[in-house]
Structure 1
Amino acid sequence: HGGLRPSDMHVPLLLAGPGVPHGKLTAARSIDIMPTILHLLGKPIPKDIDGRLGYFSFAAETSISDGTWEAACASANVALTAQKLVANGERAAFALCRPPGHHAHADLFGGYCFFNNAAITAQAFRDQGYPRVAVLDVDFHHGNGTQAIFYNRSDVLTASLHGDPDLVFPHFLGFEDETGEGEGKGYNLNIVYPPGTPYREWRKGLDIACERIAAFQPDALVIALGVDTFEEDPISFFKLKSADYLSLGKRIEQLKLPTVFTMEGGYDVDAIGINAVNVMQGFENKKQT
């Protein structure tokens, strides 16, 4: 209004500390930069509303608006409905969860995630008497929330295949030396890949993760299914092709476990449906349509 341009509302980004010159930022991004927040919980919760708004968030790109609570609850309930179907005898169920969930911690939201649908599903199996549950995250980004939730537990095995967190979101978790703590030591597996990874290399990590899951002998399996590993995904750097998702689904099926798929990332809007369906068809041993 009144001729005000969006650029008039921006101010230069000033960084305290060496190593991040302004030129590096402008070279890396042609759009606005939304910071990921390294946040330490345990400090007093602010009384001021501005402080409270950010206290439980670790990334500034995830906004809360009218309807967010209802959408997040509905997404979690979709996952729980899928879990109920499998617990009642279905071989597998796919939960089309929106918003996604695998970045959400028990006490933090971020990465477009509010409730961790995969973790909620795994815990539902545990609450219903399943002794062991495995969670396999095949999204391009590390499932930091799922890892954090189960990091000290030996009853839920977590495995994540993802881009190098030194280079991509969520940055502060997802390294291969993070294997669990306390009773959970050895029950968290991270497999990290560099830019340009094709399916033949990515598949090697998938086989390692599936072998670890098989050795764990879980009673149920949760797949955090992201298809942002696709070669044309705009915010990722893997090189999987649509046909590769058939192979992915077939490999998961070979575990022969009651399985719930929770939908996570995927940002090529023309391909996300094709690739997700291919995973399901591969799981059901059907050919690509």
Structure 2
Amino acid sequence: MRTFFSEDSRRRQARSELHDGALVAPFECPERMDLVLSALNQAGVEVQAPKEYGLAPVLAVHDAGYVAFLETCWQAWQSTGRQGEAIPNIWPARTMRGDRIPQSVSGQLGYYALAAETSITEGTFAAAMASKNTALAAVEHTLASGEPAFGLCRPPGHHAAMDQFGGYCFFNNAAIAAQHALNAGKRRVAVLDVDFHHGNGTQQIFYRRADVLFASLHGDPDVTFPYFSGYADETGEGPGAGFNVNYPLPPGTSVATWMAALDDALARIQQAECDLLVVSLGVDIFEGDPISAFTFQHADFITLGKRLADAGLPSVFLMEGGYAVEDIGVNVVNVLQGFQQARG
């Protein structure tokens, strides 16, 4: 399967993440990519670097002020003399005004952040640009050839909303790829999110639109990040009513139950007559993942790939979650190989 990765994805080298009340080494780290690249190499997969696509595809789905903030935040943070990484510590909560963007970089962090675990560091903007380039190269290959493609995106993207970052995500790679495909002439695109965590950003971007069907299988937000998004009654609004489908599942959900939800999602995609499938590929549904709670084993990822192939659509896989356990690369390759085996 044609695979893309940018070495500039490594330019984000965060040192700190707020986790369970402590600052720890981030779960989302460049070593994740090394594990996947090693597994791809062992499988004989050639990895190509993407070209530069600029900001226009980003601005097609993200707010211009938000993009400008991401580009300048680190420099603004450093200019105030702060020694640590840029981490938000206040938000426009329910009892406060949410219609003003403060001049202070501290206030801007709170305005544009959806959570406190994700710091902004030197190289964050460059890595986000590289990640969306990877996604765009993958979708362009599929659009041109009809063949499947894999974008090894880092940072991930599905938590990034139109004007918010968090959950390790800054630009929404799946949304950027889907919009690019629509601009190229596709009538309706399906974005299927199989990450353990709900793709709140992708949902928000397309919630009032009928040209993208968003379906997400994820941990129940009653007990799982991002908590405030991903419930079953979130089905789209206005023109997008019925084009947003969530499958919140409890911790410890069996593979059989998860696969039944996947079958339903694929049926919805078929009913919507989508002509491209973008898979937000999170392999943190693995039983050994450090910040997730599903029960997939290695062989189940092969089955997942085969089920996705049964959709019969041109397909693009974009990396989301799956954290630095040794199995991440095996699980990614198993999905891709299962897909190719089913396609013959």
Q: Which moved more, 1:146-155 or 1:32-41?
A: 32-41
Q: How does 1:99-110 map to 2 (within 5 A)?
A: 99-110=155-166
Which secondary structure does the structure 2 equivalent of 1:134 belong to? strand
Q: How does 1:247-258 map to 2 (within 5 A)?
A: 247-258=303-314
Q: Percent identity?
A: 56
Aligned-residue offset at 1:39: 5.0
Query: Is contact 1:86–1:93 with CA below 8 Å preserved after alignment?
Result: yes
Residue 175 (structure 2) pairs with residue 114 (structure 1): no
In structure 2, which of residues 200, 211, 219 is the aligned counterpart of residue 163 of structure 1?
219
Aligned-residue offset at 1:195: 1.2
Structure 2 residue aligned with 1:45 = 101
Give the TM-score of the pair, scaled to structure 1. Answer: 0.86
Q: How does 1:274-285 map to 2 (within 5 A)?
A: 274-285=330-341
Aligned-residue offset at 1:65: 0.9
Distance in 2 of aligned mates of 1:160 and 1:29? 26
Structure 1 residue aligned with 2:143 = 87
Structure 2 residue aligned with 1:186 = 242
Q: Which has the larger radius of gyration?
A: 1
More helix by share: 2
In structure 2, which of residues 271, 288, 294 is the aligned counterpart of residue 232 of structure 1?
288
Query: Is contact 2:92–2:111 with CA below 8 Å preserved after alignment?
Result: no
Deviations 1:49-108 (A, max 9, x none): 221222101111111111111000000000000011011114110000000000000100
In structure 2, which of residues 247, 264, 282 is the aligned counterpart of residue 208 of structure 1?
264
Query: Is contact 1:101–1:264 with CA below 8 Å preserved after alignment?
Result: yes
Query: Is contact 1:165–1:174 with CA below 8 Å preserved after alignment?
Result: yes
Distance in 1 of aligned mates of 2:268 and 2:92? 31
Cα 1:59–1:141, aligned 2, differ >3 Å: closer, same or farther? same
Structure 1 residue aligned with 2:39 = none
Residue 253 (structure 2) pairs with residue 197 (structure 1): yes
Structure 1 residue aligned with 2:207 = 151
Distance in 1 of aligned mates of 2:140 and 2:161? 23
Q: How does 1:250-269 map to 2 (within 5 A)?
A: 250-269=306-325
Letter in 2 for 1:47: Q
Cα 1:118–1:39, aligned 2, differ >3 Å: closer, same or farther? farther
Cα 1:228–1:191, aligned 2, differ >3 Å: closer, same or farther? same
Letter in 2 for 1:146: T
Residue 131 (structure 2) pairs with residue 75 (structure 1): yes
Asked which structure has the greater RCO (Cα within 8 Å, sep 6+), the reply is 2
Q: Is there any run of 5+ residues in structure 2 with no aligned partner, and where?
A: 1-18, 25-86
Query: Is contact 1:221–1:260 with CA below 8 Å preserved after alignment?
Result: yes
Structure 2 residue aligned with 1:60 = 116
Deviations 1:10-39 (A, max 9, x none): xxxxxxxxxxxxxxxxxx947459989685
Q: Which moved more, 1:161-170 or 1:84-93?
A: 84-93
Distance in 1 of aligned mates of 2:158 and 2:105? 27
Which secondary structure does the structure 2 equivalent of 1:97 belong to? coil
Residue 143 (structure 2) pairs with residue 96 (structure 1): no
Aligned-residue offset at 1:269: 2.3
Deviations 1:165-201 (A, max 9, x none): 0101001000000000000000000001111112111
CA RMSD of aligned residues (A): 2.0
Q: Is there any run of 5+ residues in structure 1 with no aligned partner, and where?
A: 1-27
Distance in 2 of aligned mates of 1:224 and 1:37? 28
- Count of aligned pairs between the two proteins: 259
Letter in 1 for 2:133: N
Distance in 1 of aligned mates of 2:210 and 2:317? 22
Distance in 1 of aligned mates of 2:90 and 2:302? 34
Aligned-residue offset at 1:276: 0.4
Distance in 1 of aligned mates of 2:92 and 2:286? 29
Distance in 2 of aligned mates of 1:39 and 1:259? 39
Query: Is contact 1:130–1:220 with CA below 8 Å preserved after alignment?
Result: yes
Distance in 1 of aligned mates of 2:200 and 2:290? 21
